[in-house]
Amino acid sequence: MNFILRPWKIDDLNTLVKYANNPNVAKNMMDGFPNPYTAEKGIAFIENAMQEHIHLFAIDVNGEAVGGIGIHPLADIQRKNAELGYWLAEPFWNNGIITKAIKQMIPIGFKLYDINRIFARPFGTNKGSQKALEKAGFQFEARFEKTFFKNGEFVDELYYVIRKTD
């Protein structure tokens, strides 16, 4: 399935709310990803994503923002690292979109930031995200048992990593 990565725009609000307001998406996200996903939360997100120093992109299929992906650089002694975050609307799962989007973000992250490592932290229960990261060239680095508390239960935190030299 064809898609492009592009900057978020305020016109994306309706499709953002339409696709992000899904408990099946939210269950694999940090609590900062609201559920329910309201227009008010969507406006705040888009306004933040549109800031010049923020590198969050809409995943656009046929003119609709159906997901998002971004690179989040760290600071202090972790300043040579950045976290990759992403989500995709459920109707578009299992089409290879996230794997391809991750592959596109790797060179962007290494070009934009003075980093040598990009990591992602999928839940141990999110097999789809784990497969997408592996297909995109990330290596499994660590499992921390029952460190995340989501929806009333503990879940494993996994680390997948790609280094500039990989």
CA 106/CA 116 separation, integer angstroms: 11
pLDDT at 142 over 70: yes
Residue 23's CB is within 10 A of a number of other CB atoms, namely 11
Q: Which fold has domain 4-163?
A: Aminopeptidase (3.40.630)
Kindly list the domain boundaries of the chain, sorted by start residue: 4-163
- Partners of residue 143 on adjacent β-strands: 158
pLDDT tens digit sequence for 7-59: 999 999 999 999 999 999 999 999 999 999 999 999 999 999 999 888 999 99
pLDDT at 156 over 90: yes
User: Residue 42: its pLDDT value, please?
Assistant: 97
Band (pLDDT 50/70/90 cuts) for residue 91 is very high
pLDDT at 123 over 70: yes
Helix (H, G, I), strand (E, B) or coil at 57: strand
What is the number of residues in the chain?
A: 166
Band (pLDDT 50/70/90 cuts) for residue 166 is low
CA 129/CA 5 separation, integer angstroms: 18
CA 105/CA 144 separation, integer angstroms: 25
